A = this chain, B = another copy of it.
Amino acid sequence: MVYIVRYGELGLKGRNRGKFEKLLIGNIARALDRKSFDYDIKSYRGRVLIYTDNDAKFVLEKVPGIVSFSPAEEMSYEEVFSYILSKLKTMTPSTFRVSAHRVDKSFPKTSPKINEEIGSFIVQNFGWKVSLKNPELIVGVEIINSKAFVFFSTYRGVGGLPVGSAGKLVLLISSGLDSPVAGYLMLRRGAKIHALYLSQGPLGEKKVRKYITILSQYAPEDIPLEIHSHHSVLAEYARVLENRGMKRWTCVLCKYMMLHFAEQVAEREGALGIITGDSLGQVASQTLNNMYASSIGLKMPVYRPLIGMDKVEIESLARKIGTYEVFISAKEEKCPFRPKYVSVETNVERFREILKNLDL
């Protein structure tokens, strides 16, 4: 069997295309290697062809950069007719259509011509009705490198760009629902990820490790996860704030410390920014004031791919990638420093002063 893999971000052109394709092929190969599959990869004019006897669907549907793919059989155009005859005789669709695409423009028959030839052949032999709009069966035919590839199903890929087409980012991951989704979205746009978890305890850690296992399926290699205890660092400052009657600033300070720690890790790792799961207004602490205050003095950009999304949209993405189940099926430690009232309208200038006094 051969999988026809389609890619191609709109607007991707010129010199980038070759680099993109090379990276995509490398990533597909590594994903197949991890499953110890036997395979052979070729590429031809905007198509990648994967020859394998293994069931590669579950691998291909998680490789960023793939828009769609179809498990197909390769043959000469003349052979298509007898192949279709044997394949279709067990099927009973009420309507069908042929969907031909001539990737190889040097092939003498045009796509409409192929549609017509194969379509009337099927009508003659099976008497099925043609429906262009919403057929039960689509007989796909692509002409690639003068050969015909015939298929009956097409699967959607993840889309986006191949991991590695952008540089590295540090993902500030937590045991919550949002940050793994944020990591997924940036992976899908080609970023390499180095995950950083500032741990609350073993339960949170277990959850985060599961998230990383899931996210790693979308990457050509396992995503590194760096874990530090955040408590030991935060504890002292949380006490100082409490003693000064400023306990409600604890969460902003905590976030400030996490972001700055992430920036240090990013510098060490040669990463170019930080990813967070922030979504505006989703919880009381994710206000514009708090996000401004907690990023005071950062040199690197912070990427917040969920910033404009609703909770339902984030949940739906989490379900799609598989992190939702982990999120709801296990508990994690509660933060012992979280005050009853969290400052939501943090005055940025006031917070600057507090930072000065704390002398971090």
Contacts and interface: CB of A to CB of B under 8 A. Distances in A.
A302 interface: yes
A56 to B, nearest CB: 23
A138 B281 CA distance: 34
B16 A312 contact: no
A305 to B, nearest CB: 3
A74 to B, nearest CB: 29
A185 B288 contact: no
A288 B169 contact: yes
Interface residues of A, number: 49
A272 to B, nearest CB: 4
B311 A280 contact: no
A291 interface: yes
A159 interface: yes
Contacts of A284: 16
A185 B312 contact: no
A289 interface: yes
Interface of A: 9-11, 16, 159-161, 165-167, 169, 182, 185-186, 188-191, 272-273, 279-284, 287-289, 291-292, 295-296, 299-312, 315, 348
Given A160-B310, A161-B281, 14 more contacts: A9-B311, A11-B283, A161-B280, A167-B287, A185-B307, A186-B280, A189-B279, A189-B280, A189-B307, A189-B308, A191-B288, A301-B302, A303-B304, A305-B305
